Every structure is written in structure tokens, then in C-alpha cells.
Amino acid sequence: MTTSVFENHAEPGARDARRALADDLIDELTGWSPPERLLTLRGWHRGAYSLIHLIVLTVLETEGPLSMRRIAEALDVSDASATGIVDRIERRGLVERRHGADDRRVVLVHLTERGAAVFREIKQRRRARLSLLVAELSDDDLAGLLAGLRAMRSAAMRVCEELATPRAGAAV
């Protein structure tokens, strides 16, 4: 059972202070101003990748090769719409269709090397932008931020493991 970030402190004053601190942290982590969002979206557009293309590439990167029906389900669009989207991405060399090895009637959409490179390019651009921000931080701020982010990653792993573990008596 996951404990709340506020349950660790029995004292009401400490619980309120922790709640306020956690709320401030969450505000900082989730704050995405319109100028920041616009800069990011323009960066994607400059690469000539639409959001729907990036979603398809992400789904394929995460789940591996998929049928058109599974892509349509993942996008919550019709099979015909998914086919049109994949056609456009395939023309750009980001994905390819291949017949199944076991059943030639099955056609799976695969991420190509060029498609996988999209995320490496995005990561490189993101790293370059983050480097500009990090350069503005003091050594103490850098160390504190690194320690905090490592703690967040560790907590995320624990929560993911907990969510993936079936609870006793829960329907499977």
C-alpha cells in the first residue's frame, strides 16, 4: 500500500509544512508556461514531426511492432485514419510494414532506424537546452537538484513496482 507523502509525519504542523513543500515542488515540476510549450512545439515542427507522428513512433518504440488495428486503438482513431497516418510516416522512412513470419496475412508496422533516430535527435536538442539552464545554477543548486532527481527516480521505481505487483485478494 502506498503511503501518502504526508503520512510520514504525525505532528500536524510538520504534516502541513510537508504538504506545502510537496505542493510547491509539484508546481515546479508540472509548471509549463505557454512560451516554454510553444518553444517545444516549434522544435518538433522544425523537425517536421507532427504530434500524432511522434505518438505513433513512441508507441512502436515502447511496444514493438504492431498491427494497424493496434495502432488505431492506441491512437483512438479509425483503422482508415491509422492507415493514412502510417502511410505518411512510412513515406518519410520512419516506419515500415512487414508481413508476419508466422502468418503472411498479418502486417506489422516496425520502427525503422531512421524512426528511432528521431528520439535521439529530440534528446540531443533537449540536452542542449537543459545545458543552458544548468549553466545558470550554482554548484550547491546543481548538487541539490541532482540528489532530489535521483530520489524521485528511485521513488518512481518503487511506485511502479508496487503498482505492477498484484495485491492479495485482488482480481487478476
Using one digit for the tens of pLDDT, what is the confidence trace for 109-153?
A: 999 999 999 888 888 888 888 899 889 989 999 999 999 999 999
Does 12 share its domain with 61? Answer: no
Q: Please name every residue paired with 95 in a beta bridge, in sequence order, or none if there are none.
A: 111
* Residue 136 lies inside a defined structural domain of this protein: no
**pTM for this entry:** 0.64
- Residue 96 neighbours by CB under 8 Å, 6+ apart: 90, 109, 110, 112
User: What CATH number corresponds to the domain at position 91?
Assistant: 1.10.10.10
d(Cα 156, Cα 143) in Å, to the nearest integer?
20
Q: Which residue has the higher pLDDT, 30 or 88?
A: 88
Mean pLDDT across the chain, nearest whole number? Answer: 85
d(Cα 22, Cα 155) in Å, to the nearest integer?
14
Residue 45: predicted pLDDT:
59
**Contact status, residue 99 vs residue 82, Cβ threshold 8 Å:** no
Which three cell numbers, joined as nine digits, stand for 144?
541539490
* Residue 110 lies inside a defined structural domain of this protein: yes
d(Cα 44, Cα 152) in Å, to the nearest integer?
27
Query: In the chain, how many domains are there?
Result: 2
d(Cα 16, Cα 43) in Å, to the nearest integer?
40
Does 61 share its domain with 87? Answer: yes
Using one digit for the tens of pLDDT, what is the confidence trace for 77-101?
A: 999 999 999 999 999 999 999 988 8
* Residue 84 lies inside a defined structural domain of this protein: yes
Cβ neighbours around 1 below 10 Å, total: 4
* Residue 163 lies inside a defined structural domain of this protein: no
* Residue 106 lies inside a defined structural domain of this protein: yes
Does 3 share its domain with 54? Answer: no
Does 57 share its domain with 91? Answer: yes
Whole domain around residue 3: which residue ranges?
1-31
d(Cα 98, Cα 88) in Å, to the nearest integer?
16
Does 17 share its domain with 49? Answer: no
* Residue 10 lies inside a defined structural domain of this protein: yes
Closest C-alpha to 56, from 133, 109, 120: 109
* Residue 2 lies inside a defined structural domain of this protein: yes
pLDDT of 106 > 90? The answer is: no
* Residue 149 lies inside a defined structural domain of this protein: no
